Amino acid sequence: MTSNPTEPYVGPRPFRRTESALFHGRSQEARHLRDAWLAERVVVLHGPAAVGKTSLLHAGVLPLLDDEPRTLTLPVGRLIHQPTWPLAHASGPGGYRFTLISSWTPARQTPDPEQSVSSALESILAGAAPHRVLAAIDHMEELFTAFPARLPERDRLIGELAQALRDLPLNLLLLVRDDQLATLSGYEGLLSPQPFAYVRLDGLGQASAVAAVTGPASHSGRRYAPGVAEQLVERLRKTTYTDRLGESVEIVSEQVSPFELQIACAALWSGLGGSTDTITAELLAQLGDLTGILAAYFDRAVRDVSLETGVPEPELRAWIETTFITERGTRGTAYRGLTQTADMPNAVVDALVARHILTEEQRARSLWYQLGQERLVEAIRTAHHAAPARDRPQEHTPADFRAAAEAALGEGNFISARRFADVAASRSLEQGDERQFANLLAFKAEVARVEGDLEAARETLTAARSQFESQQDALATVRVLTALAEVCLSMGSPDEAVDLGRQAVARMPGDVAARTLLAHALWRAGSPADAEAAYNDALDLDRNAARALYGRGQVRIALRDFRGALADLDRALALGLPRSEEDLARQAREQALERLGG
Ligand SMILES: Nc1ncnc2c1ncn2[C@@H]1O[C@H](COP(=O)(O)OP(=O)(O)O)[C@@H](O)[C@H]1O
Ligand SMILES: [Mg+2]
């Protein structure tokens, strides 16, 4: 692989909020969806799997709402962390409601597991009275597919959302896959005082697809020679279908699958030399056909899934071919059993869905799987013929697994991240590398925290802590103690957080992050004066610690020192805060200003 100017194509994962500059071809859809969300109580955005719903919301719509006056837009909500937990894990604070509320709650605020949706939203607003609150729930289908045993919980959540729509100036945006649209519509009367507004998302039309190909490249300082992007899009529009009688037909679609577009563009980009500034027809020709590119993607995916699940590669390939491609060369289907799908553990199916090799679809009362793209039929057969004699097992080091885990976490694929981390941890134990093992525990806790499973995060951090302590690694111990305190805060145990914060500070009195966290915990525990003193200690060590200034500013509002608060918040904002805190700091600043003026 060559050294390339920054990779402009995001590949198989959804776009993030911060990638709007790379997001092209959806400007009309983004404006339309924004307008609907601002105007309607409940908007449903629906479309097939992998058509770009999540991306449109994060990179297309949210940036358009930045300067919307008197409107508060919450972070995007989710209902479950991931769909493969055993049922037992799904009850309690891991429930739909708590997960939803946690995902809506800005960082550093503490969600309360007992609160209803309405009162949680009230706490998030914290006295501010915006004209309207915009809240979205991505992957709404998870409410219907994930845990059939959780029907009562589902109905309770619908009831609480309905209540919140009555209590607050709330506009909901629900993202759902087409196969669950009918089920969701069935709740219309229960949920909303008004009919749902429906917005449908299709694949990319020709002109939009060209924009999605060329836009990101120009952002990285390269361009396509005239007509080349159009040629690539033409290829993406053509698929060969095999019908039930075994006849092949080439179909030219009006639309392009954004997923295939990503795979093709990423492959094209990685093949370019470092000095290329124009992508010519010759370079496109060297790329080979799309089936081959998809075959290479399939190979990589199978390798990763094998690594992740322990199912040997040849077995995995054979299973995919026989289960999902019929003798006639059409797409086959299999339904999800309680633990297995067509004799493979469900973990394998989930890992393939996460990589868009399979898609999930609800039919009647069960979930069915088939290949994610028609073109995969041919690609898998190609991959089969080209499959190298790679049957000899390859030795991977714990570091390989750790890298794979980090990559998966970066893509938001928590299931894979956790499994890779597990393998890495047990390998490093086998090799007697205790330091590596402890680091992996801390990493696993990070995964759990990102996905919102706080209980697991706490448990794993506690284990990491005793490892680091027995290795007498003070720096790592303090890091873990601080993280542990933060998790306790998120779980609504401020006293425990204070205790942990004190231990961290005692071990390393010069650690600004530990002191800042202790201050924050003291505030949450109801001692604003102690909190202010602790923030002062942190700021004595580093007078430009933005988060400590932000914290002290908030505490000073509670202590009615509005002038001091304003000065702190202004400095914190000037120094720069993480995005989630920046919004809150601005709100706090307005509050201080108001109180000063009044
Ligand atoms: N406008 C776009 N341009 C290029 N690629 C896109 C665009 N929108 C989505 N994608 C890609 O399509 C794939 C599926 O997107 P995603 O947002 O996850 O879809 P969904 O939420 O509908 O399942 C991802 O690889 C994503 O990067
Ligand atoms: Mg999505």
Residues 96 and 172 in one domain: yes
Run of H or E including 366: strand 366-371
Please state the rounded mean pLDDT for residues 518-529: 94
For the CA of 58, the closest atom of ligand 1 is 17
Enumerate residues lining ligand 1, CB below 6 A.
10, 12-15, 23-26, 47, 49-55, 212, 258-259, 261-262
The closest residue, in CA terms, to atom 26 on ligand 1 is 14
Strands 170-177 and 132-137, bridge-based pairing: parallel
Name the token pair of 470: 């027995």
Tell me how far the alpha carbon of residue 112 lies from the centroid of ligand 2, in angstroms.
Answer: 27
CATH number at residue 362: 1.10.10
**Structural domain that includes position 564:** 544-598
Closest CA to 62 of 107, 13, 14, 101: 14
Q: What pLDDT is stored for residue 243 in this prediction? A: 62
The stretches of 271-372 forming alpha helices (DSSP H) are: 281-286, 290-309, 313-324, 346-354
Residues 284 and 367 in one domain: no
Residues 298 and 272 in one domain: no
Residues 305 and 232 in one domain: no
Residues 334 and 306 in one domain: yes
Closest CA to 520 of 542, 505, 508: 505
**In which band, very low, low, confident or very high, does the pLDDT at 175 lie, cut at 50, 70 and 90?**
very high
**Residue among 9, 15, 199, 269 whose CB has most ligand 1 atoms within 8 A, to mutate:** 15
Please state the rounded mean pLDDT for residues 222-245: 88
Residues 380 and 242 in one domain: no
**What whole-number distance in Å separates Cα of residue 180 and Cα of residue 364?**
11
Please report, rounded to a whole number, the percentage of residues in the chain having pLDDT higher than 90.
56
Query: What pLDDT, in 10s, does the model give residues 353-407?
Result: 989 999 998 876 678 899 999 899 989 988 776 655 444 455 677 878 888 888 7
**In which band, very low, low, confident or very high, does the pLDDT at 326 lie, cut at 50, 70 and 90?**
confident
For the CA of 209, the closest atom of ligand 1 is 3
CATH number at residue 78: 3.40.50
The closest residue, in CA terms, to atom 27 on ligand 1 is 14
**What whole-number distance in Å separates Cα of residue 553 and Cα of residue 507?**
27
3-state secondary structure of 352: helix
**What whole-number distance in Å separates Cα of residue 240 and Cα of residue 375?**
7
Look at residue 147 and tell me if it is in a domain. yes
Q: How far is CA 306 from CA 161, 301, 312, 313, in A?
A: 41, 8, 6, 6
Q: What pLDDT is stored for residue 244 in this prediction? A: 58
Please state the rounded mean pLDDT for residues 463-489: 91
For the CA of 138, the closest atom of ligand 1 is 21
Give residues with Cβ within 8 angstroms of 152, minimum separation 6.
Answer: none
Residues 39 and 125 in one domain: yes
Query: What pLDDT, in 10s, does the model give residues 113-151?
Result: 788 999 999 999 887 888 999 999 999 998 887 555 667
Look at residue 423 and tell me if it is in a domain. no
Q: What pLDDT is stored for residue 90 in this prediction? A: 35
Residues 165 and 232 in one domain: no
Closest CA to 37 of 4, 72, 10: 72
The closest residue, in CA terms, to atom 16 on ligand 1 is 52
Q: Give the total number of structural domains in the chain.
A: 4
Please report, rounded to a whole number, the percentage of residues in the chain having pLDDT higher than 70.
92
Tell me how far the alpha carbon of residue 80 lies from the centroid of ligand 1, in angstroms.
Answer: 21
Residues 153 and 234 in one domain: no
Average pLDDT, the chain: 87
Query: What pLDDT, in 10s, does the model give residues 417-450?
Result: 888 888 889 888 888 888 889 989 998 998 888 7
3-state secondary structure of 397: coil
Tell me how far the alpha carbon of residue 554 lies from the centroid of ligand 1, in angstroms.
Answer: 39
Q: What pLDDT is stored for residue 53 in this prediction? A: 98
Residues 262 and 113 in one domain: no
Residues 280 and 297 in one domain: no
